[in-house]
Chain A
Amino acid sequence: MHEWALAESVVETVLKVSKKENLNRVSEIKVKLGVLQQIEEDIFRSALKDITASCGAVFEGVNIKLDKEEAVFKCRRCGYVWKFTDSLDVKEENQEDIHFVPEVVHVYMRCPSCKSFDFEVVRGRGVSIDYVEGE
């Protein structure tokens, strides 16, 4: 469960934000989970709960929102746009590789239209913080 390491990076960042914004208490965090990284939502949520609980009063009663974000790609050669969920040609074992390092999608996926490897991940790569609320 390498989700724990990413959850820890979220908490570390929220603590940094709360310090900068002089927040005594963080009431809500919204995290976007890009589909490309295939994060196990339950494991990630449970890791976030455990880590925030160990940080003391600042996260007391915090509401954690997780929002899945579709992974979208655009081919730099032909302009074709597609979703990760449309890419049925990526083998299961390679999906596991992408889970650990999403950039290796460039190794295992090709543009469905022109077969180019030169495409960009427009959105939905991995874990990102949408917002932090508190007082």
Chain B
Amino acid sequence: MDPRGNIIKKRLEGVKRVIAVSGGKGGIGKSVVAAVLSLILKEKGKKVGIFDVDFCGPCAHMILGVREAYPQEEKGIVPPEVEGIKFMSINYYSKDNPAPFREKDTSSAFVEMFAITQWGSLDFLILDMPPGTKDVILDTIRFIPRVEFLILTSASQIVLKTVKKTIRLLKEESVSCVGVIENMSRPDFEVKESEITEEGVKFLGRIKFDGSLEEALGNPSKLLKTKFALSLNKIIIKNTDFISR
């Protein structure tokens, strides 16, 4: 009998909201949105944690410029604070090496890390999700109480199709979805809002492609000044229930 899953609810008792930043396909900016969202929420005075659950390709540490940090052991593991944000990643243990995990390994690592991580009290725990609807998404739905999904899309029909499937899956499981953001938007190639709203989910807004973002990676204060961060902040302000719920 595997005992680990039974303690996860208790580990998250002090966390008010868990937002899983997800999306249909890889490369649509989930990690950058998750990391910058954490920084913005921290700027707004919230207590924030971020957990990179993309175990095969963790990169939130690169975006936030995490160096020299390592979790402490205290009745479990306590994530170190980076820019005032509690930061957890498998990268502390895989150390930028290739991680050839099969699905059952990612699933087990997910349960293990949630079972042993002591988050304490948080307003928001942001999950940087891997692409697709494989085991980590299913485990998030199964093990994380009151989880809410924030879904990213692009205007590509390929991405939209997968996003719609994800939304339907969440609906079927009665999992909350705070809404959809279109990332890397171009004026000549945008998602029709109705494509999202007809799925019964809120279209939160668009973030234009920002060519300067790459240079700001690894530097949180620079990241917060990018057009990308300003657009994401506007979306959060416009959708007031996002932070005040």
Answer whether A and B are interacting partners: yes
A residues contacting B by CB (< 8 A) are: 1-2, 4-6, 8-10, 12-14, 16-17, 97-98, 100-104, 106-108, 117-118, 125-130
Q: In the complex, which residues of chain B have a beta carbon less than 8 angstroms from the beta carbon of A129?
A: 1-3
Cα–Cα, bound, A5→B115 (Å): 7
Is there a chain A Cβ closer than 8 Å to B237's Cβ?
no
Q: In the complex, which residues of chain A have a beta carbon less than 8 angstroms from the beta carbon of B101?
A: 103, 106
- Are B75 and A1 within 8 A (Cβ)? yes
Cα–Cα, bound, A11→B115 (Å): 13
Cα–Cα, bound, A129→B4 (Å): 10
Q: How many residues of B contact A (CB 8 A)?
A: 32
- Are B99 and A126 within 8 A (Cβ)? no
B73 to chain A, nearest CB (A): 5
With A12-B10, A106-B99, A126-B112 in contact, do A100 and B4 touch (Cβ < 8 Å)?
no
* Known contacts A1-B73, A8-B10, then 20 further A-B pairs from the complex at CB < 8 Å, ordered by chain A residue: A2-B116, A4-B76, A5-B77, A5-B116, A6-B116, A8-B75, A9-B3, A9-B4, A12-B6, A17-B1, A98-B93, A101-B93, A101-B112, A103-B109, A104-B93, A107-B99, A108-B97, A126-B112, A129-B1, A129-B2
Q: In the complex, which residues of chain A have a beta carbon less than 8 angstroms from the beta carbon of B105?
A: 103, 106
Is there a chain A Cβ closer than 8 Å to B108's Cβ?
yes
Cα–Cα, bound, A125→B92 (Å): 20
Cα–Cα, bound, A6→B116 (Å): 7
**Given A9, A101, A118, which contacts B109 in the complex, CB threshold below 8 Å?**
A101
Is there a chain A Cβ closer than 8 Å to B36's Cβ?
no
Cα–Cα, bound, A108→B95 (Å): 10
Q: In the complex, which residues of chain A have a beta carbon less than 8 angstroms from the beta carbon of B108?
A: 102-103, 125
**Given B3, B55, B116, which contacts A12 in the complex, CB threshold below 8 Å?**
B3
A43 to chain B, nearest CB (A): 11
B residues contacting A by CB (< 8 A) are: 1-4, 6-7, 10-11, 55, 73, 75-77, 90, 92-95, 97-101, 105-106, 108-109, 112-113, 115-116, 118
Cα–Cα, bound, A130→B1 (Å): 6
- Are A12 and B7 within 8 A (Cβ)? yes
**Given A9, A102, A130, which contacts B6 in the complex, CB threshold below 8 Å?**
A9
Cα–Cα, bound, A17→B2 (Å): 12
- Are A2 and B98 within 8 A (Cβ)? no
- Are B113 and A101 within 8 A (Cβ)? yes
Closest A residue to B99 by beta carbon equals A107
Q: In the complex, which residues of chain A have a beta carbon less than 8 angstroms from the beta carbon of B97?
A: 107-108
- Are B7 and A118 within 8 A (Cβ)? no
A-B residue pairs in contact (CB < 8 Å), sample of 10: A2-B75, A2-B77, A6-B3, A6-B4, A10-B3, A13-B1, A103-B109, A128-B1, A128-B2, A129-B3
- Are B75 and A97 within 8 A (Cβ)? no
A131 to chain B, nearest CB (A): 8
Cα–Cα, bound, A29→B3 (Å): 13
Q: In the complex, which residues of chain B have a beta carbon less than 8 angstroms from the beta carbon of A14?
A: 3
Closest A residue to B77 by beta carbon equals A2
- Are B109 and A97 within 8 A (Cβ)? no
- Are A9 and B93 within 8 A (Cβ)? no
Closest A residue to B115 by beta carbon equals A9
Cα–Cα, bound, A103→B163 (Å): 29
